[in-house]
Structure 1
Amino acid sequence: MAGDKKAKGKAEQAKGKLKETAGRAVGNERLEAEGRMEGAAGDARQAKEKAKDVFKH
């Protein structure tokens, strides 16, 4: 279960980075901002799962 959530966090980070880069390339500030937000959500999910692992072991 935790592995699935970690994978989802990585996917959110990658999707966010892709959107951010695409938005920057075409000059779309909204898309760029969405990408940053998705990336941040992925970062938060990753941090939460890592913290759970620390306390679990």
Structure 2
Amino acid sequence: MDKRKVIDAYRRGFLTPQECAQVLGVERGQLNGLLDLPADSLRIIAASANNRPASS
């Protein structure tokens, strides 16, 4: 799922902070750092996550 869409859903009030962090796969404490990032940075993070090899 696109991280920008998840963060947008959180900002619109559709997700709780805990749910947002869980969907993004980050700790709750890391969420604040992601929310402070500009949109361009989120695009880079999303692209790098999509290119990561699957965990086994």
TM-score (norm 2): 0.32
Q: Return the structure number with greater relative CO, CA threshold 8 A, min gap 6.
A: 1
Give 1 or 2: higher helix fraction.
Answer: 1
User: What is the TM-score normalised by the length of structure 1?
Assistant: 0.32
**Computing the radius of gyration over CA atoms, which structure comes out larger, 1 or 2?**
1
